[in-house]
């Protein structure tokens, strides 16, 4: 007797929402990134960079800090070809944090690309079921 094959599970793409900044939030974001960069360039750890520049809005602060880590990973891993372990060591953070953030970045890029392709092709593809 042959086992029935299960239909493949539909994999739902994770939902990502990207914050639209107000002009004031954009200014705070840009200023924070510059301050964090300066601290890292001066040899501070990531934690020290974050601690040395506080933002009043804690939700915005967390978002900026997460984005800044993504920026560093993009520059160092993709731009300078540094190993993720080396990035973690240089920033004095766990390797798992760097690897999880890197994986999240790739997910976000994939979902965004798939969404854009879907939008672009929706006007090209026929609207039939066959």
The residue with greater pLDDT, 128 or 56, is 56
Residue 21: pLDDT band by 50, 70, 90 thresholds? confident
Residue 10: pLDDT band by 50, 70, 90 thresholds? very low
Reply yes or no on whether the pLDDT at 95 is more than 90: yes
| Phi, psi angles (nearest 5°) of residue 87 | -65, -45
Q: Is 36 left (phi over 0), alpha (psi -120 to 50) or beta?
A: alpha
The pair of three-digit structure tokens given for residue 58, joined into one six-digit string: 């804690």
């Amino acid at each position: 007797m042959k086992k029935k094959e299960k239909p493949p599970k539909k994999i739902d793409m994770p939902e990502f929402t990207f914050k639209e900044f107000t002009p004031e939030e954009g200014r705070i974001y840009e200023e924070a990134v510059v301050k964090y960069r300066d601290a890292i360039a001066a040899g501070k750890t990531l934690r020290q960079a974050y601690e040395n520049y506080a933002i009043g809005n804690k939700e915005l602060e967390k978002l900026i800090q997460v984005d800044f880590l993504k920026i560093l990973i993009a520059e160092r891993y993709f731009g300078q070809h540094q190993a993720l372990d080396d990035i973690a060591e240089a920033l004095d953070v766990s390797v798992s944090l760097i690897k999880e953030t890197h994986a999240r970045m790739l997910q976000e890029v994939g979902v965004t690309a798939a969404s854009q392709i879907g939008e672009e092709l929706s006007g090209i593809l026929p609207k039939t079921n066959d």
